[in-house]
């Protein structure tokens, strides 16, 4: 193969990889246009982060109405740039779907990526499985810190 053909093949490969890398999660999470994130305490009383996805704008957390909640059991700074999955060993979080009557059902499988934090916004994506239903997309969650001391 000539050098020119190798360069063309390399450019085409790079374009394909870039096009595919964000395509699956570039769209907002359907049905949940509002996203909020806050600090929490994990099960061992260590730091955690919870992302709430809601169909309505919120003034306070946790939401009273139906929502999705995704919690990872590490602090915000440690979580940035990482992907967490229900298949990880050990599992470092959970995902639930909560109805308006405050009943929450766990996701059968889940993946959350926390890409970055700028200003007061946490950027990420989710892929959740509830029975046969998939909920997936990107979010830009407004950071709403709480006075909470773990440990």
| pLDDT tens digits, 30-58 | 999 999 999 999 988 899 999 999 999 99
Summary mean pLDDT of the chain: 84
Q: Among 84, 76, 73, which Cα is nearest to 43's?
A: 73
pTM of the model: 0.80
Report helix, strand or coil for 124.
strand
Q: Express as a percent the part of the chain with pLDDT over 90.
A: 64
Give pLDDT tens digits for 87-126: 999 999 999 999 877 789 999 999 999 999 998 999 999 9
DSSP result, 6-27 = HHHHHHHHHHHHHHHHHHTT-S
């Amino acid at each position: 193969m000539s050098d020119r053909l190798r360069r063309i093949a390399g450019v085409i490969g790079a374009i394909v990889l870039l096009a595919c890398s964000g395509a699956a999660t570039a769209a907002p999470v359907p049905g949940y246009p509002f996203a909020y994130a806050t600090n929490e305490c994990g099960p061992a009383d260590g730091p955690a982060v919870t992302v709430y996805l809601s169909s309505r704008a919120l003034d306070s957390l946790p939401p009273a109405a139906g929502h999705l909640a995704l919690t990872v059991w590490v602090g915000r700074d440690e979580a940035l740039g990482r992907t967490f999955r229900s298949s990880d060993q050990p599992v470092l979080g959970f995902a639930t779907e909560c109805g308006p009557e405050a009943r929450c059902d766990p996701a059968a499988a889940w993946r959350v990526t926390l890409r970055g934090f700028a200003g007061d916004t946490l950027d990420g994506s989710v892929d959740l499985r509830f029975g046969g239903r998939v909920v997936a997309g990107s979010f830009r969650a407004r950071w709403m810190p709480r006075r909470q001391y773990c440990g």
